[in-house]
Structure 1
Amino acid sequence: MLRYFFIFLLALPLTACVDRTISETVPTALSVGSPETVFATTTRAREPDGSYGFKRGEALQYLEMTVSIPPNHTPGTLDFSYANPNPEKQFVMAGVDELQGPSEMKARLGGKDEVSIFIHGYNTTQFETTFRAAQLSRDINIPGAIMVYSWPSQARGAGYAYDLDSMLFARDGLEQTVRQLKAMGVRRVILVAHSMGTALTMEMMRQAELREPGWASKNIEGVVLIAPDLDVDLFRSQMDTIITPPDPFIVMVSRKDKLLNISARLRGTTQGERLGNISSVDALADYKISILDTTAFNKDADSSHFVAATSPALLAIINSARRVSRTFDPDGRGFDVIAPNSVRNPTGATEIVLSETGQARVSSP
């Protein structure tokens, strides 16, 4: 088991020599790049220098951030620097405003009736998840406002156990975020979670359902789980509690996700499988979810754990589907284009296997 742990550390980006908690804010970057607004709620504690690190905070904090996207950005790429960023070629933080609670957040949202919340995974800093959310928003033209829920990850390769505890600690803050957005009058709240952030998302919905049956479908208009680092049996147990899941409910998987194989072995799972790299969807047949198989887009191990954000071909297919959707249904909902209602099994799971040509094989397990 110890051997797998060291392999897992070696598989992570080699950033030990870089202070990832620091990223420069450069307002002048907007004279070169184009702005992307990213709102945030966070359960990270505010440090004396104004940054938000890995310590757990007692209260939810509210932020509005402006990211400068380089002029020649191509879909699927995310280049940034922790020091001396180059706005000609890199994503740069151009501004960070601390907001005075939900009332100011509501004013800044400006009446937008759709908010997509990105929930990051393990080993991630606040600025890193903000840059990734900005990249995804730009690359697939996410409608409405984009927000990150930034939970207190230690952002260290050796911080996996700390992050597991922090993920559970952060459940209440995510539920509070959703409740406050709905109280502000936001009509549609979409949750887009990656890796360990999918476990946080499922646990948050489960706890809310136990207190108030039907809460998830009443307050969340769509869920996208990307490469979920989640035990399949645990997922089934969570779904059994969430009797009426949000619609659409999309699980993006890849059989080539090597990091999830390592995660499974760390937990003693002999099959080496997590929900995000499941080889057969038969165990999920009874749940009204869409399983989107993106295996065809995995070209190497480095991109296998977040192919939804790093594959230009997959991003192009999603964008093309959105353009067609807008042509025939201008009021169509944002993430429905990934798994249209017309192809979904109304009584159980739908498996959609995508190819690089844009063709999809649809089946019901």
Structure 2
Amino acid sequence: MPQTYARNLLQTLALAGLTLLAACETTQVQPPTPDDTQVMRGKEPNYKRVQVHFGTNRAAGDGSTPAQAFGTTYSDTVSYGSAEVSIPRDHRMGELEGPNPWLLEFRQDPEKHVVLLSVKPMDRKRFLDEIASEIDEAGSRHALVFVHGYNTGFEDAARRTAQISYDIGFQGVPLFYSWPSQNSLLGYGEDERSVAKSQPLMRDFFRDLAERLDAETIYVLAHSMGTRATAGALAELFTEKPELRSRFRQIMLMAPDIDADVFRTQIAPALVQPDNRLTLYASSNDIALKASKAVHQAARLGAADPLVLMPGMDSIDASDVATDLLGHSYYADGDSVVADLVEVIADKGPAEQRTWLEPRRSEVGRFFRFKPVVHPAPAQ
């Protein structure tokens, strides 16, 4: 084992050239003023408001702005509420638009950016009652729960949930669970401790949704380090209350920062079952997971080195999907992944029946890759 998580992580990131990203954290972005959120062009605002609901075991922040509603400190109780997020009319699928300091943009503008506009806390009963009412009104009777990964604050968790919900055209109720990540590149070790402590609270959150909501299907989309608590919480829940398993038919693990052997031996037996559809998205080009592997001296489930295959789980190699510098956010940045999520949530069936995937075979079994994108030839 490495001497300390922080020391080894910093060494790995330095070798990968990723320490340049730390400088970006010093950029100060101003939140929108109340007037900014009411900008009008003609008779209609040039953005859409998307409502998302949340559970979080972050301690309350100072509340000076919506982004400060919750901080980075761990709490042993779950807080609930709803939030509104702006999606600009010219939003590009997969993008999480924000101010660009290189263009001298330092203030969030709902007409240009995905902005957390408001946060409304509420107690547990009101939270569950409101979601139940919205599910009844939505008609589709579906809920989508997003769980973020490492280096993510409450604000970006809300923004990303709204963006994903908007991009896939989700007709049910979008939610997110936000565990207390430090929202810092250098906070990896503390994030690991925090996400582990959060797992029992997340299990109770999922149990509430399954028991209290009259939803036909609860979709779960978890990313990076957040997949640890998500997979562990659901495995515990399914073991304790197997009758709730069918409520979570779609579970999607994106770039999971989970020890691959731990997943095979301790989590998969409870999580991977014939009546559930579990989808793994992994990439051999994921620099963040390569860093995690160096820190832990153990293969990561989402790193595709090799790709983990097992009955009852669709394993998808997303190595060829164009994405961000880290190669770690293809769930939101790759158009083909977003398109596949649309089909997963539309219940188009297992991977072999979906449009954007093609089957491949290795020595240990079958897996899937995204079909090559064919660009039209330029006009002569």
Is the alpha carbon distance of 1:236 and 1:89 closer, same or farther for their aligned partners in structure 2, counting shifts above 3 Å? same
Distance 1:78 1:148, change over 3 A: same
C-alpha contact 2:69 2:119 (8 A) present in aligned 1:
no
Structure 1: distance between partners of 2:33 and 2:129? 24
Structure-1 residue corresponding to 2:293: 264
The residue number in structure 2 matching 1:16 is 25
Does residue 28 of structure 1 match 2:75?
no
**3-state secondary structure, aligned to 2:320:** helix
Q: Which shifted more, 94-103 or 110-119?
A: 94-103
Equivalent of 1:278 in 304, 310, 316: 304
The structure-2 alpha-carbon separation of the partners of 1:314 and 1:48, relative to structure 1 and needing over 3 Å to count, comes to: closer
Please say if residues 195 and 227 of structure 1, whose CA atoms lie closer than 8 Å, have aligned partners that are also in contact.
yes
Question: Is 1:290 aligned with 2:314?
Answer: yes
Offset at residue 144 of structure 1 (A):
0.8
Q: CA deviation at 1:312?
A: 2.8
The reply to whether residue 6 of structure 1 matches residue 11 of structure 2 is yes
2:335 matched residue in structure 1: 312
SS in 2 for 1:54: strand
Please tell me whether the aligned partners of residues 85 and 116 of structure 2 are also in contact (alpha carbons under 8 angstroms).
yes
Select 1:73's aligned residue among 91, 95, 105. Answer: 91
Q: Distance in 2 between matches of 1:56 and 1:230?
A: 21
Q: In structure 1, what residue type is equivalent to 2:282?
A: V
CA distance in 1, matches of 2:28, 2:76: 25
Percent identity between matched residues is 22
Question: What is the RMSD computed on CA atoms of the aligned residues?
Answer: 2.9
1:315: how far off? Answer: 3.0
* Structure 1 unaligned residues grouped into runs of 5+: 323-332, 359-365
Matched residue SS, 1:244: coil
Displacement of 1:185: 1.9
Q: What secondary structure does 1:73 align onto?
A: coil
Contact 1:114/1:186 (<8 A) preserved: yes
User: Match for 2:169 among 135, 141, 150?
Assistant: 141
Amino acid in structure 1 at the alignment position of 2:318: T
Amino acid at match of 2:111: E
Q: What CA deviation, in whole Å up to 9, does each residue of 1:1-59 have, x standing for no partner?
A: 64652342752633331468x85574425833111111111111112436201111232
- The aligned amino acid for 2:328 is H
Instruction: Look up the SS of the partner of 1:255 in the other structure.
Output: coil
Matched, 1:39 2:39: no
Q: Structure 2 unaligned segments of length 5 or more: list them.
A: 100-104, 375-380
Cα distance change of structure 1 residues 137 and 303 upon mapping to structure 2, 3 Å threshold: farther
Paired residue for 1:163? 191
Q: Distance in 2 between matches of 1:303 and 1:339?
A: 28
Superposition pairs of residues 215-230 of structure 1, within 5 angstroms: 217-230=245-258
Q: Distance in 1 between matches of 2:46 and 2:27?
A: 26
Secondary structure of the residue aligned to 1:85 is coil
Task: Provide the C-alpha distance between the structure 2 equivalents of 1:194 and 1:124, rounded to a whole number of angstroms.
Answer: 11
Whether the aligned pair in 2 keeps the contact of 1:44 and 1:53 (CA below 8 Å) is yes
SS in 2 for 1:166: helix
The aligned amino acid for 1:251 is L
Shift in alpha-carbon separation, 1:349–1:61, aligned structure 2, 3 A: farther
- Asked if 2 retains the 8 angstrom alpha-carbon contact of 1:216 and 1:246, the reply is no
1:252 aligns with 281
Counterpart-to-counterpart distance in 2, 1:4 and 1:101: 38
Q: Identify the residue that residue 377 of structure 2 maps to in structure 1.
A: none
Q: Which amino acid aligns with 2:284?
A: R
Amino acid at match of 2:322: N
Who is 1:235 aligned against? 263
Give SS of 2:186's match. coil
Is the partner of 2:347 in helix, strand or coil?
helix
Provide the rounded CA distance (Å) in 2 between the counterparts of 1:127 and 1:104.
19
How many Å apart are 1:165 and its aligned residue?
1.1
3-state DSSP of counterpart to 1:291: strand
Residue number in structure 1 paired with 2:347: 336
Measured in 2, the distance between the counterparts of 1:186 and 1:134 equals 20
> Does the Cα contact within 8 Å between 1:123 and 1:156 map onto a contact in 2?
yes
CA contact 2:81–2:119 (8 Å) conserved in 1: yes
Q: Distance in 2 between matches of 1:142 and 1:134?
A: 10
Q: Is the 8 A contact 2:304 2:317 kept in 1?
A: no
With over 3 angstroms needed to count, the CA separation of the structure-2 counterparts of 1:245 and 1:171, relative to structure 1, is farther
Instruction: Pick from 102, 121, 131 the counterpart of residue 125 of structure 2.
Output: 102
**Residues 309 and 366, structure 2, Cα contact 8 Å, conserved in 1:** no
Question: Is contact 1:192-1:224 (8 Å) kept?
Answer: yes
* Equivalent residue in structure 2 for 1:208, among 237, 247, 258: 237
Q: Deviations over 1:242-286 (max 9, x none)?
A: 4636622100111111111111011123xxx411122334x533x
Q: Is the 8 A contact 1:44 1:52 kept in 2?
A: yes
- Please name the residue that 2:158 is paired with: 130
Contact 1:24 1:85 in 2 (8 A): yes
Distance 2:340 2:184 in 1: 34
Q: Which moved more, 1:199-208 or 1:188-197?
A: 199-208
Q: How many aligned positions are there?
A: 335
